[in-house]
Structure 1
Amino acid sequence: MVEHRPLRDFIAYAVLSFGIVIFAFPVYVAFIASTYDAATVVSGNLPLTPGRNLLENYYRAVFVGGSRFMNQPVGVLLLNSFISAIGIAVGKIFISILSAFAIVYFRFPFRKTAFWIIFVTLMLPVEVRIYPTYKIVADLHMLDTYAGLILPLIASATGTLLFRQFFMTVPDELLEASRIDGAGPLRFFWDTLLPLSMTTVAALFVIQFIYGWNQYLWPLLITTKDSMQTIVIGIKKMLSTTDELAEWQLAMATAVLAMLPPVAVVVFMQRLFVKGLVETEK
């Protein structure tokens, strides 16, 4: 029986509302700043209501160019970030689910050793192995390419661990039933394991999409053309430290646009994301 305690519920909702305000207010200020001209933004007297330059600022940012320090329109940077994030998320899921499938369902020498070697790579993020990774990418002529943005980041020990733990909870009776029906390993994987893993796939996709979207160091290192740079780099370039005044209204418009894809992914996949993380039986 669920007990209704109005005072406790009120306190919980009040704390939750306060937290939402703290996190949402800076985003709201960024949106408001994106609707005014640069002089109003830097004056220190920014109103809390939208201005008249909303359409002009967003049109200029998306289709014309972010600022005098960034030659490419923000639309191009958003596309680069989207392709990179999708490629990283899909690549990590593809490699992780296949490697976990092999570790759990195949018996081969040094199977556990292979898993622990994969697990140890958690201590070797791209920042640690930045020079050899860059050298290999450069030797393969993948600088300023989508392949160079995506391929070095698609290995995921976290994803392999997540899928391995889930596969170990799948009843052995399903495997035996598939064998009786004459299904091979790939058929068992495609018809049985993959449908059962969809919530785990969704949870991992959300995490890895945001990871790929927020990448800064690696894209900054391997992209020299403005046309191949990502939205995070674009925001940094707009906030130039030269004597010229940064066009803050365009930078704020770009920041607001940069938040929309990750937020959309989280909102539309929220239920699957929560199920994939908290449910032990799919």
Structure 2
Amino acid sequence: MIERRPVLDMISHLVLILGVMIVAFPIYIALVASSQTAEQAALAPLSLIPGDQLFNNLSAVLQSGASGNVSAGPVLRMLWISLASALIIAIGKISISMLSAFAMVYFRFPGRSLFFWMIFVTLMLPVEVRITPTYKVVSDLGMLNSYAGLTIPLIASATATFLFRQFFLTVPDELAEAARIDGAGPLRFFKDVLWPLSRTNVVALFVIMFIYGWNQYLWPLLISTEQGMYPIGVGIRRMIAGGDAAVEWNMVMATLLLAMLPPAMVVILMQKWFVKGLVDSEK
């Protein structure tokens, strides 16, 4: 029997409410600033009362971006570039990682363990560490200011390969033997058996990888030298690069709100599958 303690319940709820308020307050500030005029948003201290310019500011940044004070294009274009890049990175990481893990678990070939540990060692070599040679290769291949340059160097994932490998090792060998007896080839076994069993893991990794791709800043900052290929992170930085006197903070905050929507929607829509993929032990 679980003993109810009203005082402890009240304290735990107060702590949770306080935590939510601390996390949500910066978002509220961005919402307030994005609903004001440029003059109101530049005042110090900032008024905590929302204005009536929210939809006007959102429409302005989506269609034309910032004013002539800074070099930044329409936010709608930046959102599309970030969305396309994040989807390519997430889908590419999951596809390559599943196939590589499948090969290492269900195929017998010389050096199988060596190849796995070579992939695993790349965890210590993120793109920030090898950014100079990676940039040289991408530049020599003519992939600057392109979706290929934004995504291909970030697609490989040792983490996802390791997680899929560990999951495939938990799949009973009897399933593979039964599929082999029924005449199913490796790809048929992968499609009909492993893929349905891996869906929750795929969704959980998709959410993580999508947010990883969406939040990329350093690599796109180097690759994107043309305004038409700025993702949203680089675009926001460009909007505040003209000095405090030139920054339209209402437009910047409106852009920040728009930048938070896609990853927030992905987490909300896939929350059930995401949590299940992380904590569900029944395979």
Please state how far the C-alpha of 1:241 moved relative to its aligned partner. Answer: 4.4
What is aligned with 1:66?
Answer: 66
Please state how far the C-alpha of 1:11 moved relative to its aligned partner. Answer: 1.8
Structure 2 gaps, min length 5: none
Q: For each residue in 1:218-240, what CA deviation from the matched residue of structure 2 results, as whole angstroms up to 9, or x when unmatched?
A: 10101111110100011111112
Give the letter aligned to residue 260 of structure 1: L
Residues 146 and 266 of structure 1, relative CA distance in 2, 3 Å threshold: same
d(CA) in 2 for partners of 1:101, 1:3: 48
Give the letter aligned to residue 115 of structure 1: F
d(CA) in 2 for partners of 1:150, 1:40: 39
Residues 164 and 147 of structure 1, relative CA distance in 2, 3 Å threshold: same
Residues 188 and 243 of structure 1, relative CA distance in 2, 3 Å threshold: closer
Trace 1:176-255 onto structure 2 (pairs within 5 A).
Answer: 176-242=177-243, 244-255=245-256
Trace 1:103-122 onto structure 2 (pairs within 5 A).
Answer: 103-122=104-123
What is aligned with 1:17?
Answer: 17
What TM-score do the two structures reach when normalised by structure 2? Answer: 0.96
Please state how far the C-alpha of 1:17 moved relative to its aligned partner. Answer: 1.0
Give the letter aligned to residue 42 of structure 1: A
Q: For each residue in 1:18-49, what CA deviation from the matched residue of structure 2 results, as whole angstroms up to 9, or x when unmatched?
A: 10000001101101100111211121143323
SS at match of 2:246: coil
Structure 1 gaps, min length 5: none
SS at match of 1:66: coil
Give the letter aligned to residue 77 of structure 2: V
Please state how far the C-alpha of 1:135 moved relative to its aligned partner. Answer: 1.1
Give the letter aligned to residue 37 of structure 1: T
Aligned 8 A contact 2:217 2:233 in 1 = yes
Moved more, 95-104 or 10-19: 10-19
Aligned 8 A contact 1:104 1:167 in 2 = yes
d(CA) in 2 for partners of 1:84, 1:67: 26
Aligned 8 A contact 2:64 2:74 in 1 = yes
Give the letter aligned to residue 235 of structure 1: I
Aligned 8 A contact 2:72 2:235 in 1 = no
Trace 1:1-282 onto structure 2 (pairs within 5 A).
Answer: 1-68=1-68, 69-242=70-243, 244-282=245-283
Q: For each residue in 1:85-107, what CA deviation from the matched residue of structure 2 results, as whole angstroms up to 9, or x when unmatched?
A: 00000000001000100111111
SS at match of 2:156: coil
What TM-score do the two structures reach when normalised by structure 1? Answer: 0.97
Give the letter aligned to residue 46 of structure 2: L
Aligned 8 A contact 2:72 2:238 in 1 = no
Please state how far the C-alpha of 1:8 moved relative to its aligned partner. Answer: 2.3
d(CA) in 2 for partners of 1:53, 1:122: 46
Aligned 8 A contact 1:66 1:254 in 2 = no
Please state how far the C-alpha of 1:243 moved relative to its aligned partner. Answer: 6.5
d(CA) in 1 for partners of 2:42, 2:72: 23
RMSD: 1.2
Give the letter aligned to residue 26 of structure 1: P
Give the letter aligned to residue 158 of structure 2: A
